[in-house]
Chain A
């Protein structure tokens, strides 16, 4: 059982400051209860990074094909600091959760058109 804890759902997180100075947190994989701590840490890191520069940053979820209420709760907690880019498949989930009313959520372009 113990080693199962060491194998959460696969998720890669990277925070970069783009050349235009904008901070972007890019997530790849799936977000659920098993890796939510890592996602929260990354959000905190990005918030700190962006704080030195006007405070806003972008959470790029275009390569996240699954997220649950744990992830949405984390986004709500930073609603005033973030813009979100989301995979089209998770758009309905985000809409139903109401986050789209507080945060600008852009659907990502389908991969082929990017």
Chain B
């Protein structure tokens, strides 16, 4: 500040103005030096800013190495050597010299031409540590640094310390993320299994690059299968950078070597001297090197040593942390990529379907992390164009039940954002959880792990998750391919087996004895003949397994063709005799061949050595259809084949089967047939599907069926199935068809009328209310007979509008009529249409 003794007001004003200008300059310079986070440019800005504040000709900033010497300089106006000599002057808390010629320690600076005269040196302290010193110098005669200059530079030094600190933090962060990114790249690259570059090579390449080093080598135990404590020698297995050919394959004892010590202790270190020479590494000059172990699952897989050039700065201790993370990462990836048998792989290998695999993987991940819950959510992609539209997510949850709709919206959003993010990139948005997205054969699978406690999901956890997710993605793809092949095989088997869609009124069960085959030597067939009748065949070729199945497929087709040609069971079986005699493996095939008139229930049948069909009437009367029976197929040429007739009464149940259903060791066949007949009799009031299940489970031996089994059920009359436009003109024809069917079911005239009126009301409602405003709709009417009741279902595609008040009474009368005439009426309105169920007890 100004001299208080001076009283010239003009000079005081000048001083005030100068002080204000200096303050403004100081503020601007301070703002500038913090303007970006690059350390190097921050240092340069500090130097230039200091020159500006002091009008000095020369400036230098010396930075201390870990050993306390000023090791590197940023300077302006003078050369590096001069800057280094400035650095030799002790700055202490600050040094101001008006003429260096008089300074005892400044002799070396006189070499500068012209000689440096005035000097200002100010220390810079960053986080309580001596970072270095800022020097300003001038060689102009009479030029000195003032108190004001010193004050300004001190202020600048304080600001500079903060800027340097920020820049250093930023640099470390950047360095750290570079290593983290490299770690992930290694994981991904190892998993992709690029055969060009082995995993070890990949690790040394990346380590060399990241550490900005001259040479990197990777040593592994010479005998990899030995337990860690029995390994006695390491061998250089991969190398990058200089001297590669000299160093590869060199061996180092575990005992008495630096690398061996690192492998033993499992701790990294920085050194420039190695206990045991490694030709091509330790003998190429004194260099700073970092040596780190590759540890996974408490096993040392190897050691990496990375060395910088002699003139490069030595590795700092903070580097150890970065490199250790990298090494840990690499080790885990290495351990798994090396193909060590992992539970996940085994689980995947056992899965038959992609869904099974996802489930097994979720279980395995939960076990690995002892997690509270693992969610595996599949987002199926729409179409194959790879657009980003996904269908309704499918959730597999282990540990806790969960489905998509019940998950908190926050969780759903998080899962969806993982799905939209990068694949195989772990995401740990909050402590205690992590998620990752991976390729699923149908789209994207997002796995989310919730730990039991809110601990951070560490880098190690993330690496492992990435590795496993990569494995899972590949595994799912493999399972998907196998699954598709399996589906193809199943489709072919089912094509051999017989019709998947049976005409109404039939129920079928099929079990093959030879797993995983789904067909065997048994077969069934049900198909419509040209004259409106239905052919039913159940047969049994000798043996089971694939050989029997191939014979069966041909026999089935032949029988079908013969019946189309001539719809007579005995003629068909006579034709089969000739066919079976010529087809190897088809001889002694047994079969029941029948032709049913679905209107009348008349059944014509013929049996070739097959156990008899069973017929159970509505009242429980049970008959064995054992007429029309003679020897098996292909045994005698021109053997006469008899035919028998029976009429299936209304509401009676017919059972056709193969011997696998009833035949048991040490038991008469007849006993088994009686058991089956008894089950049909007991279950004759069930629906056919329920009855089929009851028989299959009721007769199954404790260890499951050991032979191929066919079970075919028919109940007369077959259900009625009508579909027609929603129009009043359809009322009469619908009624005619329903009346015919009810008569066939032998309902008495009163009951027929009741059902007709009730069904008519339901249909009229569907026409009036469901479709009055939307013509073109359709109505379906289904009717099923049970032993003691008739059930109808009337479905329309419209919605029953709330009746207008004027018509309410009228419509209400129709519904009341339905309720009055039927034992049970339910009306289920739905946005897609209305379904009416009617049920009447048969009296």
Contact = CB atoms under 8 A, between A and B. Distances in A.
Nearest to A76: B813
A33 B760 CA distance: 9
Contacts of B725: 1, 4
Contact of A73 (B729, B750, B760, B810): B810
Contacts of A5: 727-729
A4 B757 CA distance: 22
B817 A69 contact: yes
Contacts of A34: 728-729, 731-732
Interface stretch (B262-270, B479-487, B761-769): B761-769
A93 B753 contact: yes
A32 B821 contact: no
Contacts of B757: 66-68, 93
B761 A68 contact: yes
Name which of B750, B757, B767, B820 has the most chain A CB atoms within 10 A of its CB.
Answer: B757
B821 to A, nearest CB: 6
Contacts of B728: 5, 8, 32-34
Interface in B546-586: none
A44 B749 CA distance: 32
Interface in A59-81: 65-70, 72-73, 76
A5 B731 CA distance: 11
A99 B820 CA distance: 14
A1 B767 CA distance: 14
Interface in A27-47: 30, 32-34
Contacts of B814: 68-70
Contacts of A7: 729
B804 to A, nearest CB: 14
Interface residues on B, range: 20 to 34
B821 A33 contact: no
Interface string A78-107: 000000000001101100110000000000
A8 B732 CA distance: 8
A53 interface: no
Contacts of A72: 813, 817
Nearest to B725: A1
Interface in A1-26: 1, 4-5, 7-10
A19 B731 CA distance: 38
B597 interface: no
B735 A30 contact: yes
Contact of A32 (B727, B749, B750, B760): B760
B761 A8 contact: no
A33 B814 CA distance: 11
B516 to A, nearest CB: 53
B816 interface: yes
Given A8-B728, A33-B764, A68-B761, A96 B813 contact: no
Name which of A33, A34, A73, A96 has the most chain B CB atoms within 10 A of its CB.
Answer: A33
Contacts of A1: 725, 727, 775
Contacts of A92: 750, 753-754, 821
Contacts, number: 84
A96 B820 contact: yes
Contacts of A76: 813
B756 interface: yes
B731 A93 contact: no
Contacts of A97: 813, 816-817, 820
Contacts of B809: 73
A33 B729 CA distance: 9
Given A92-B753, A93-B757, A96-B817, A69 B764 contact: yes
A8 B731 CA distance: 8
A32 B732 contact: yes
Nearest to B751: A92
A30 B735 CA distance: 10
Name which of B730, B732, B821 has the most chain A CB atoms within 10 A of its CB.
Answer: B732
Contacts of B731: 9, 32-34
Name which of B728, B749, B768, B811 has the most chain A CB atoms within 10 A of its CB.
Answer: B728
B753 A69 contact: no
Interface in B761-802: 761, 764, 767-768, 775
B699 to A, nearest CB: 44
Nearest to A74: B810
B12 to A, nearest CB: 109
Contact of B754 (A8, A10, A73, A93): A93
A93 to B, nearest CB: 5
Interface in B713-769: 725, 727-732, 735, 749-750, 753-754, 756-757, 760-761, 764, 767-768
A96 B821 contact: yes
Contacts of B730: 4
Contact of B817 (A8, A9, A93): A93
Nearest to A30: B732
Given A33-B728, A69-B761, A69-B764, A89 B749 contact: yes
A72 B818 CA distance: 13
Interface in B678-733: 725, 727-732
A90 B754 CA distance: 8
A66 B489 CA distance: 55
A27 B320 CA distance: 106
B764 A68 contact: yes
Contacts of A8: 728-729, 732
A47 B767 CA distance: 30
A70 B814 CA distance: 8
Nearest to B752: A89
Interface in B614-669: none
B756 A69 contact: no
Nearest to A3: B729
A33 B813 contact: no
Given A4-B727, A89-B753, A9 B813 contact: no
Nearest to B815: A69
A5 B727 CA distance: 8
Contacts of B817: 68-69, 72, 93, 96-97
A101 B725 CA distance: 37
A69 to B, nearest CB: 4
Contacts of B816: 96-97
A70 B764 contact: yes
B775 to A, nearest CB: 8
Nearest to B767: A33
B729 A69 contact: no
A1 to B, nearest CB: 7
Contacts of B810: 69-70, 73
A107 B813 CA distance: 22
Interface string B145-179: 00000000000000000000000000000000000
Contacts of A4: 725, 727, 729-730
Given A33-B731, A34-B729, A93 B821 contact: yes
A10 B729 CA distance: 11
A5 to B, nearest CB: 6
Name which of B809, B811, B813 has the most chain A CB atoms within 10 A of its CB.
Answer: B813
A5 B728 CA distance: 7
Contacts of B756: 66
Nearest to A72: B813
A86 to B, nearest CB: 12
Contact of B764 (A32, A65, A90): A32
Interface of B: 725, 727-732, 735, 749-750, 753-754, 756-757, 760-761, 764, 767-768, 775, 809-811, 813-814, 816-817, 820-821
Given A33-B767, A70-B764, A97-B816, 19 more contacts: A4-B727, A4-B730, A10-B732, A33-B731, A33-B768, A34-B728, A65-B753, A66-B760, A69-B764, A69-B811, A69-B814, A70-B814, A72-B813, A72-B817, A73-B809, A93-B754, A93-B821, A96-B820, A97-B820
14 contacts: A1-B775, A5-B729, A7-B729, A30-B735, A32-B731, A32-B735, A32-B760, A32-B764, A68-B757, A68-B760, A70-B814, A72-B813, A73-B809, A90-B753
Q: Which 9 A-B pairs have the closest CB atoms?
A: A4-B729, A96-B820, A69-B814, A34-B728, A9-B732, A73-B810, A32-B731, A33-B764, A33-B728
